[in-house]
Amino acid sequence: MSAVKQSLRVLLFDFDGVILETEQPGYWGWKKTYAEFGHDLSQEQYALVIGTHFGKFNPKEDLERKVGRPLDWERLDRERQEFYRQVISRQPVLAGVRELLSEARQAGVRAAIVSSSPRDWIEHWLAHTGLRGEFEYVMCVDEVPVPKPAPDLYLAALARLGVAAAEAVAIEDSPNGSKAAQQAGLFCLLVPTEITARLAFEVDFPRVESLAGLGLAGIARLKTQYEQTRALASRRQSAKGQG
């Protein structure tokens, strides 16, 4: 067994913003809805819902408060979703994803998706991009109705795949996703998008601009460096406490 495969048996990909850039188009769609009623939506506000559900911020409630009356969400949702799908359908798979999945397949490293999005959404876009066959499993809120930043989705995925957290790597773009990974005991590689890059992350995981050129060896190296740094910090803290 290769050194990489010994420390890295499974790649756990978030979907939105990691496999396909759906987050910026999602923001554009909501911004378009707000503009119809003469209001604006900032990226900072919209970023609160990335990787989770409408908990910290609900754009529907926010817009209705600003407009001062109930809105026809059946129409607005339909129009926004149509716009959203048209834009996303023109988006390429994010840089480095196909190459990493191909390398993982050849090396015998398993791959799965762990997402707060519904299954029909993920399956549609995996089919559209031709990537469905690259993933052994898709864990989503249809099966575990507790979105990130709770660790439930990741814990369920690890159990389903029969691997320990130490043998897997999560790949995330958002604070909500990375916090979920951390709470599940996972090492997480951060690949922020244009929107999430400006947010405050509560975790200290390594960050890269894209997956392009990184490869399994690069991910394994970052994982090892992170674990060694954490272990050293723990030993120093322990020695300080004894001194």
Buried b (16+ CB within 10 A) or exposed e, 74-113: eebeeebeebbbebbeeeebbebbbebbeebeeeebbbbb
Helix (H) or strand (E) holding 218: helix 215-242
Catalytic residue among 16, 72, 120, 142: 16
Instruction: Give catalytic status of residue 16 as yes or no.
Output: yes
- Does residue 77 have an active-site annotation? no
Q: Please list, in sequence order, all residues whose beta carbon lies within 8 angstroms of the beta carbon of residue 134, skipping any fewer than 6 positions away.
A: 101, 102, 105, 111
Any bridge partners for residue 138, and if so which?
113
Beta bridge partners of 112: 12, 137
Q: Which of 14, 120, 173, 204 is an active site residue?
A: 14
Q: Which two tokens stand for residue 146?
A: 């507790």
Q: What is the C-alpha to C-alpha distance for residues 14 and 171, in angstroms, rounded to an integer? A: 6
Question: Tokens for 219?
Answer: 């991910």
| Residue 123 neighbours by CB under 8 Å, 6+ apart | 132, 138
Type and span of the H or E element at 169: strand 168-172
- Sign, Cα dihedral of 157, 159, 163, 166: positive
List, by residue number, the catalytic residues.
14, 16
